[in-house]
Amino acid sequence: MQIADLHIHSKYSRATSQNMVIEEIAKGAKIKGIDIVGTGDFTHPLWLKELKTKLTDNGNGVYSYGNISFLLTTELSLVYTKNKKGRRIHHIILAPNFAVVDQINEFLDKKGRRDYDGRPIFGFDSVELVETLMSISRDIEIIPAHAWTSWFGIFGSMSGFDSIEECFGDKSKFIHAIETGMSSDPAMNWRLSALDKYTLVSNSDSHSPYSWRLGREANVFDLKKVTYDTVINAIRTRENFAFTIETYPEYGKYHYDGHATCGFSCSPEESKKLNRLCPKCGKKLIIGVQYRVDQLADRPAGYAPKGSVPFKAVIPLSELIAAVIGSPLASKKVVEIYNLLIDHFGNEFKVLLDSEKADLLKVVNEKLADVIIKNRLGGLKIIPGYDGVYGKIILGDEEKQMSLKNFAKK
């Protein structure tokens, strides 16, 4: 099995850690248990220069640094007006080699600047993007990013469309997948029969190399050989696509409706009773993913179409540790316990997905072991995120331990 996170950013993107460099990304991927990482930001001239200098070309569309494989990827933001409505749509682009990347960048240079941000903004239509990129190479893969995000997703409540076809027109035939985003999971997407023909992929959209960001969502392939073509084929056909790794959708920043400035959030049902107006300021609420899915769905919750790629939902390990011991994510206490588990199991995904309770108890106490198992079984309670605010894990008193004393078994 190969775990792939194909949507991240470099240090050249806004609001991104300066540690998002090749060396730290590769280091973080190994600790997390990721085998394949998207480079992100190949449109940025300085980052592209680093990629060409530091990555080893394996000759099959895969590049490497150490024992981590990389695919050439970027994210574009297109802002334009269509059908008398302003649109803000983000697109993930995968390219088979640097020669194709150079052609993509040559096209973008005719449309605006690439040097001011790792995720540049352009003012042309998504149809033109697909049409032009397909004229460059049919091996390019274009995936609508975080499809349901309120402001920047293809189905987003604030600036999106109601269907793939409405966005891409007759170029929809070149769209094979959409990215679920953190605020939705495959089960929510399965409620739309129109999406049955699209593969659902999951990626972190990480802005830092830390374990609670990198790989928080990912794809798991079962490939005999990792090449650009085998990965793309798995996405396009679902063959050898084992499952996706998701966070709980409530953990995402846009799951519920709300107003971050007012500190108010609510379920779609309550939002409807409020006429989608904030009870604190009277302005329109930012409508979240759950409400938007309900609007477009033609199936009940719980429906699973044939041939769909299964998924497993887990919250990052550092988040679990921090919630149990009541310490910040990057605190010394959390890092100490996290490192004990990594040293014992090898990487984070082995802890989250495969560890047995008996083995966990060799490293940590029963409270954390139980939370790790409960996480895997879908038993955690989450206060849903909204309007750019992450969801929050809620543990019962029996699961909390505010002291590190006797917590980690050394």
pLDDT at 198: 98
> What are the angstrom distances between the C-alpha of 305 and each of 2, 177, 195, 251?
25, 15, 10, 25
| SS3 (DSSP) at 406 | coil
pLDDT at 399: 62
| SS3 (DSSP) at 244 | strand
Which of 221, 53, 159 is CA-nearest to residue 229? Answer: 221
Q: Which residue(s) pair with 12 in the sheet?
A: none
Which two tokens mark 198? 């699209």
CA 9 centroid distance within chain: 11
pLDDT at 400: 61
Structural fold of domain 2-251: TIM Barrel (3.20.20)
Buried b (16+ CB within 10 A) or exposed e, 39-62: bbbbbbeebbebbeeebeeeeebb
Blockwise average pLDDT, block size 10, the chain, 410 residues: 98 97 98 98 98 97 97 98 96 98 98 97 98 98 97 96 98 98 97 98 98 97 98 98 97 96 97 96 96 97 95 97 94 97 98 97 96 96 96 80 44
Which two tokens mark 196? 């049955």
> What are the angstrom distances between the C-alpha of 268 and each of 64, 337, 340, 350, 376?
45, 38, 41, 36, 27
pLDDT at 403: 39
pLDDT at 407: 47
pLDDT at 396: 80
| SS3 (DSSP) at 407 | coil
The pTM of this model reads 0.95
